[in-house]
Amino acid sequence: MIKKTSQFKALLHSGETQFLMEAHNGLSARIVEEAGFKGIWGSGLGISAAMGVRDNNEASWTQVLEVIEFMSDATRIPIMLDGDTGYGNFNNVRRLVRKLEQRGIAAVCIEDKLFPKNNSLLDNVRQPLEAIDVFVGKIKAAKDTQQDKDFCVVARIEAFIAGWDLDEALRRAQAYHAAGADALLIHSKRSSAEEILAFMQTWKNTCPVVIVPTTYYQTPTQVFQQAGISLVIWGNQLLRASVAAMQKTADQIHEQQSLHGIETQIIPVKEVFRLQDCDELRRAEGKYLPPMRALDAAAE
C-alpha cells in the first residue's frame, strides 16, 4: 500500500491542478474520501469551530492533534493539517512534526503570522507577520525534524492578507523556498484572483503553489489550471454546509415540536452506522467472540 506521504507528494508534483476538500472530524473526513477527493485539508477554522471556539489558537495544539488522529484513522487518503503558525516557535514546530508523522499525517501547512493568529478572513483585525528570518527557522526546523522523506512542509504566505504588496509576497516566497519548503500557499481574501495571478506570473513553476479560493470562488477552475496552480483547497465548505443544515433542522424541530416533518429530510440512522463501519465490528465479533447461543446457555 502506498504511504499517505507519498500520495500527497505525488499530488503536489502531478503536473495537473489537484483538489483537497476540508474536513474537521473523522466523520467529515470519511465523507470527503467517499466523494472521491484524493486528499483532505484538516481545516483550522473547521476544527476549532466544531469545538465551539474561535480560530485564534484557542484550541490547543494537542486538542487539534487528537482530532486529526481520528481523521487519519478514518481514511486512506493523505491529510494536510492546517498547522496555523506552528503553535509557537521553531521548537514547537519540531514537536508538531514528530507527532504528525506518528499519526500518519502527510503534510503540515504553517503560516507566517505571529502566534496567536487571527483567522485570515476576519475583517478589521490585526494580522502581524512573523519576521522572515524567524519563519525561515521554523521551516528549517520542520524539515530537519521529519523522518519520512516524503512528509511535506507547506509555507503559507500571508503578505496579501496583512496588506503588503506583491514584492513582499515574492520576497517571502523566495526565502521560504530556499529554506526547504516543499510548496508555498499564497493566500488572498479579495473577491477576485488578481493577487494570486500576479504572484503566479512572476513565480511561475519555481515550486508547487497552493491556494484557498474561499473569497474568489467565482474564478473558473480553468484559470487556476492555466496559471500553474498545483493544489486548490476548498477550505471550509463542509463546515458551512453542516452548520446550515443543523440550524435548519433544529429550528424546524423546535417550531413543530415533532420529528414527523423532518424525518424524511435527513439521512436514516443506518447511514450513520455505515459511515461508522459498524458492519466491520459485527464481522469481528463473529471471528473473536464465542457464538451467542453458547453465551446464552452459559448464562442459564
Q: Which sequence positions are flagged as catalytic? A: 55
The CA distance from 101 to 147, in Å, is 8
Cell of 126: 490585526
Contact 79, 32 (CB under 8 A): no
SS3 175: helix
Closest CA to 203 of 261, 265, 159, 143: 159
Measured between its terminal Cα atoms, the distance across the chain in Å is: 48
Query: Which single residue is written with the C-alpha cell 476538500?
Result: 21
Alpha carbons 90 and 145: distance in angstroms, whole number: 11
Residue type, 13: H
* 220 upstream amide cis, omega within 30 of 0: no
SS3 content of the chain, % helix, strand, coil (to 5): 50, 10, 40
